[in-house]
Amino acid sequence: MSRRVSRWALTVPLALTLAAGLSGCGSSDSATPAPAAPAASGSTAPTAPSSEVTTLTVFAAASLTGTFTELGKAFETAHPGTTVRFNFGSSATLAQQIVEGAPADIFAAASPAAMKTVTDASLAGAPITFVRNSLQIAVPADNRAKVDDLADLADPKIKVALCAEQVPCGAAAAKALDAAGLKVTPVTLEQDVKATLTKVELGEVDAALVYRTDVLASGGKVQGIDFPESGKATNDYPIASLSRAPAPEAAERFVDLVLSQQGKDVLTKAGFQTP
């Protein structure tokens, strides 16, 4: 009898010791987070903020192509995960596109009149004038027609390109010509200043009235000739965030960049004037 009790007494502590060990292992495993359960059908797993992508859409006058492209790259660098997309063109055309419902966050126009189309439709906040621009006579690098001043453009032998009068560069040209008392018959009317300048660069015309910033941006492909009446046809450039902006916070930050010292440096280097 005593042998059976002794054997049982040895067996029970050993069993309790093994059970305690197994219990300790189970406690350690339960402290490790279990894999997340699969998402329910129709649900979307949360995305980490660092992987979120914001697209900022900027509608801007064609004459801002070079400067805004540079500022867009700087903005993307300063705000990882943000992509800036531009729609450059005639301010009048861009304004109409916005009124017709084109999705955009910012409008930067080459004239207050173009911006007014958008503000009158209650589609933009209060615009801010951020730069001014004035006209020059653009001629090919060799100036084969020997154009010296604005009066030369009235000579029917001189082939002239102008912007269409409904776009800002065309309206400015009309003001300058009226101030000089000149009647010019262009061989072509273009829908934005870049297209007008291209006619000179390709040698299809002898001269054109374009912004001085576009002459500088040509990199020597054309010459720019100043004329006194350009001072009576200076264009103010307003910028505004749009009321239906898909990315309103990014829009506000981009406008701040344009108005900042960094933005002013980029714009004035390109030939724009501060307001």
pLDDT, mean of residues 123-152: 97
- Phi first, then psi: give them for residue 128, nearest 5 degrees: -120, 130
List phi, psi (to 5°) of 117: -60, -40
| Exposed/middle/buried for residue 204 (C-beta within 10 Å: 0-12, 13-18, 19+) | middle
The residue extents of the domains of the chain are 54-132+236-269, 135-232
| Residue 140 pLDDT greater than 80, yes or no | yes
Helix axis angle for 248-259 and 261-269, nearest 10°, is: 60
Is the predicted pLDDT of residue 37 greater than 60, yes or no? Answer: no
Question: Does the structure show a pLDDT above 60 at 148?
Answer: yes
Q: What would the pLDDT profile of 48-101 be if each residue is shown by its tens digit?
A: 344 578 999 999 999 999 999 999 999 999 999 999 999 999 999 999 999 999
Name which of 235, 258, 257, 239 is nearest 126 in CA terms.
239
- Bigger pLDDT: 233 vs 42: 233
Domain 135-232: give its CATH superfamily. Answer: Periplasmic binding protein-like II (3.40.190.10)
Q: Could you write out the DSSP letters of every residue in 158-214?
A: S-EEEE-TTSHHHHHHHHHHHHHT-----SEEESSHHHHHHHHHTTSSSEEEEEHHH
pLDDT of 254-269, one tens digit each? 999 999 999 999 999 9
Higher pLDDT, 35 or 217: 217
pTM for this structure? 0.78
For the record, the structure tokens of 71 come out as: 């500022």
State mean pLDDT over 228-243. 96
Listed in sequence order, the residues at least 6 apart from 28 whose beta carbon sits closer than 8 Å to its beta carbon are: none
Structure-token pair, residue 93:
């055309």
Nearest residue to 176 via CA among 139, 231, 131, 130: 231
Contact yes or no for 153/139 (Cβ under 8 A): no
The pLDDT assigned to 52 comes to 72
Tokens of 32: 């490790």
Structure tokens at 147: 């154009």
What is the homologous superfamily of the domain 54-132+236-269 according to CATH? Periplasmic binding protein-like II (3.40.190.10)
Reply yes or no on whether the pLDDT at 12 is more than 60: no
